[in-house]
């Protein structure tokens, strides 16, 4: 089997997350093999100072960050020289909250409780120039980038059911969350994800999501009205 590895590294600053979230994300970064933690901050003002000095690729920003409103912090980060892309970390899983975050200029929306592996996939997607949301949002995940025609053909060969599973992975959903609306068991989805990994020749969900973005797969199927 041919294994596809992602070599380009990504630097990330954590802004405003609590201790347990910081701890979990730091462990994720260490295990990912491609994410470097550039620094952490607890307030909006501190984040601006440290991000200006560190110049990370991405910032994970807690929606309830202290001393500065989240939209103002995102706006200030976007005005920095060589601005980082920002992903919002929130407790609110609603599409309305996600869309509000995107309107501030954020490139990603993560919900606390997402699996760490899915967060890593989201970071890779945003670093590539796409947008990603853990919620049911109509946003594309490839940022309008051109699809790789060879990968696009491979993904078109997947059954409609497999493509539903792929979209669930791209959206940062767990096996249980994917299984529920499909009316199948979590074990069925777990087996399907393992089979998809084998078919694509990749090692984990992160690489599945990366290839799905490169293939031009969208969160909402073409012609379907977003819910």
Q: Is 225 helix (H, G, I), strand (E, B) or coil?
A: coil
pLDDT of residue 171: 65
- Fold classification of 149-214 is Arc Repressor Mutant, subunit A (1.10.10)
| Cα four-point dihedral sign 163, 210, 130, 38 | positive
The whole-angstrom separation of Cα 73 and Cα 43 is 10
Closest CA to 53 of 80, 87, 90: 80
Q: Where are the beta strands (DSSP E) in 23-140?
A: 35-41, 58-62, 85-90, 108-111, 132-133
Task: List, by residue range, all CATH 1.10.10.10 domains of the chain.
Answer: 149-214
Gyration radius of the chain over CA positions: 17
Check: CB of residue 58 under 8 Å from CB of residue 12: yes
CATH number assigned to the domain covering 10-133:
3.40.50.2300
Task: List, by residue range, all CATH 3.40.50.2300 domains of the chain.
Answer: 10-133
Query: pTM for the whole thing?
Result: 0.64
Instruction: Note the pLDDT tens digit of each residue in 132-149.
Output: 777 644 444 444 455 678
The whole-angstrom separation of Cα 32 and Cα 5 is 11
Series of mean pLDDT values for 10-residue runs along the chain (227 residues):
50 84 78 85 93 96 89 93 94 87 90 72 81 60 59 90 89 80 95 93 75 76 48
């Amino acid at each position: 089997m041919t294994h596809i590895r992602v070599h380009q590294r990504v630097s990330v600053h954590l802004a405003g997350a609590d201790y347990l979230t910081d701890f979990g994300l730091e462990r994720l970064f260490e295990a990912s093999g491609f994410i470097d933690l550039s620094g952490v901050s607890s307030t909006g003002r501190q984040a601006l100072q440290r991000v200006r000095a560190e110049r990370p690729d991405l910032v994970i920003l807690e929606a309830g960050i202290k001393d500065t409103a989240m939209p103002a912090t995102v706006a200030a980060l976007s005005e920095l020289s060589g601005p980082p892309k920002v992903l919002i970390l929130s407790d609110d899983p609603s599409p309305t909250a996600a869309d509000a975050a995107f309107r501030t200029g954020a490139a990603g929306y993560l919900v606390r409780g997402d699996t760490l592996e899915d967060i890593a996939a989201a970071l890779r997607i945003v670093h590539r120039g796409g947008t990603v949301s853990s919620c049911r949002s109509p946003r594309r995940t490839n940022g309008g980038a051109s699809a790789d025609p060879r990968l696009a053909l491979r993904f078109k060969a997947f059954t409609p059911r497999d493509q539903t599973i792929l979209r669930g992975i791209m959206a940062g959903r767990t096996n249980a969350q994917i299984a529920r609306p499909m009316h199948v068991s979590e074990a069925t989805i777990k087996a399907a994800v393992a089979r998809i990994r084998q078919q694509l020749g990749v090692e984990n969900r992160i690489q599945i999501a990366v290839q799905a973005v490169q293939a031009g797969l969208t969160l909402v199927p073409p012609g379907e009205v977003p819910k």
